[in-house]
Copies of this chain bind each other. A is one copy, B any other.
Amino acid sequence: MVTAFVFITCEPQRISDIAQEVAELPNVAEVYSVTGDYDIIAVLRVNAYESLDEAVPGGIARIPGVRHTTTVLAFRRYSRRDLEAGFDIGLS
């Protein structure tokens, strides 16, 4: 499982409409309107790395009103030592 964070900047007047459109896309696990410099953060969890292309450049970035997307991918996930049954990586 690859975990990706997509930081979205969009037309300020349409934040909730655009957030809702993002939430309807496949592979999108969580979507939030947020404080700070970005307007929306989407969390993607995909099993196949290739589906990121369809989800971001082929999905989120195409929504009218989206001005820019910055995607960040997890190298590895860290868990509390007591919970770490198996090595939990961003791909688990």
Contact = CB atoms under 8 A, between A and B. Distances in A.
Interface of A: 2-5, 12-13, 15-16, 19-20, 22-24, 30-39, 41, 43, 49-50, 52-53, 56-58, 61-64, 66-81, 89-91
Chain A, interface SS category: mixed
A24 B79 CA distance: 7
B32 A66 contact: no
A89 B22 CA distance: 16
As for how many copies of this chain the complex holds, the number is 10
Contact of A76 (B3, B37, B53, B81): B53
A72 B33 contact: no
Contact of A64 (B13, B43, B61): B13
